[in-house]
């Protein structure tokens, strides 16, 4: 049976403008590299479709095995996490052939992992959500420790009440939109005393509700840009300056208990632990912009 040149991405490519398909095909083929010629069974790695798209654009014509830095166009936290995982799979399981599959729902990704229909998650999830799955999944060491996931409070440019809120008691009077299925985000906001919490299930809904004034603020990682503006869904949101929040909990990659998942857990996850211990992974989070020097002096309200 013919195998696609770009593992796990044919449907994603068909959904993109023609002028972007060639770039994505070349990038993913470079990522596959020698894996495409290996005889070992596939490893199915799941990530949201926008992460797969930006990963291919970030990689461009490079081989993922040769990556040493994680800055530049299309770099961001989840793209970096996927790149590091695939790089370490190449180094630790050189005969493996990872294939990428798009799963956009956070909850569905966890269900697919528990059912063994994917080998591993390509981006990190919260420890509390992995614990709810029991022993059927195998977590990596914490790539982001508790207190390490610092985010901004984003609002619309016209929302002066939100932009002027600098103290926790002022922020608590605002309406905040999040997803109750995102256990760590939701519990962090509740613990901070937000009284008006709006439950929406997609990122798009959240962004547009804030842009249209239906909610005052939402949580979002700081972008790497100098102005810290959040550009999404055709709108622009601003951070409330000088304040941030730490979403409570640690974040991990995870593998299934399938043979492929166990191989990742036994060979790749210890290598990721070494990157955590020697500071290489923290440097990668800094290079991709997630750990943002521009906000390092801002008050973290819950630390």
Whether the model clears a pTM of 0.85, i.e. scores above it, the answer is no
pLDDT in tens, 268-287: 999 999 999 999 999 999 99
Contacts of 208 (CB under 8 A, 6+ apart): 233, 235
For the purposes of burial, counting CB atoms within 10 Å of the CB of 180, is it exposed (0-12), middle (13-18) or buried (19 or more)?
Answer: middle
Per-residue confidence (pLDDT) for residue 174, from 0 to 100: 97
* Count of positions (residues) in the chain: 303
Give the chain's residues under pLDDT 50.
Answer: 1-8, 10-41
CA distance linking residue 13 with residue 17, whole number of Å: 8
Per-residue confidence (pLDDT) for residue 258, from 0 to 100: 95
For the purposes of burial, counting CB atoms within 10 Å of the CB of 249, is it exposed (0-12), middle (13-18) or buried (19 or more)?
Answer: buried
Per-residue confidence (pLDDT) for residue 226, from 0 to 100: 85
Per-residue confidence (pLDDT) for residue 37, from 0 to 100: 39
Contact between residue 31 and residue 64 where contact means Cβ atoms under 8 Å apart: yes
Set out the domains of the chain in order of their start, with CATH numbers: 10-126+136-144+252-294 (3.40.190), 150-248 (3.40.190.10)
Per-residue confidence (pLDDT) for residue 203, from 0 to 100: 87
pLDDT in tens, 85-116: 999 999 999 999 999 999 988 889 999 999 99
Per-residue confidence (pLDDT) for residue 21, from 0 to 100: 39
Contacts of 245 (CB under 8 A, 6+ apart): 150, 151, 152, 153, 188, 192, 219, 300, 301, 302
Contact between residue 74 and residue 287 where contact means Cβ atoms under 8 Å apart: no
């Amino acid at each position: 049976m013919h195998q696609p040149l770009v593992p796990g991405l044919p449907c994603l490519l068909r959904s993109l403008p023609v002028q972007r398909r060639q770039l994505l095909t070349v990038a993913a083929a470079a990522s596959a590299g020698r894996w495409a010629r290996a005889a070992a069974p596939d490893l199915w790695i799941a990530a949201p479709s926008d992460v797969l798209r930006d990963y291919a654009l970030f990689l461009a014509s490079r081989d993922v095995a040769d990556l040493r830095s994680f800055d530049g166009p299309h770099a961001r936290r989840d793209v970096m996490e996927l790149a590091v995982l695939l790089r370490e799979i190449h180094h630790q399981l050189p005969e493996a052939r990872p294939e990428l599959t798009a799963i956009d729902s956070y909850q569905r990704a966890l269900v697919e992992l528990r059912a063994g229909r994917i080998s591993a998650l390509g981006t990190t999830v919260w420890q509390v959500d992995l614990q709810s799955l029991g022993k059927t999944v195998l977590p990596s060491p914490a790539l982001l420790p508790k207190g390490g996931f610092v985010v901004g409070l984003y609002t619309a440019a016209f929302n002066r009440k939100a932009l002027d809120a600098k103290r926790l008691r002022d922020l608590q009077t605002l309406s905040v939109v999040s997803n109750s299925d995102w256990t760590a985000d939701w519990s962090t906001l509740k613990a901070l005393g937000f009284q008006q919490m709006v439950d929406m299930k997609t990122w798009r809904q959240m962004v547009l509700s804030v842009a249209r004034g239906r909610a005052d603020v939402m949580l979002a990682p700081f972008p790497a840009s100098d102005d810290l503006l959040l550009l999404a869904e055709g709108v622009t949101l601003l951070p409330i300056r000088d304040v941030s929040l730490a979403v409570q909990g640690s974040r991990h990659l995870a593998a299934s208990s399938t043979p492929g998942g166990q191989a990742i857990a036994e060979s790749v996850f210890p290598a990721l632990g070494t990157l955590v211990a020697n500071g290489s992974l923290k440097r990668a989070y800094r290079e991709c912009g997630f750990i943002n020097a521009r906000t390092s002096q801002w008050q973290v309200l819950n630390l």
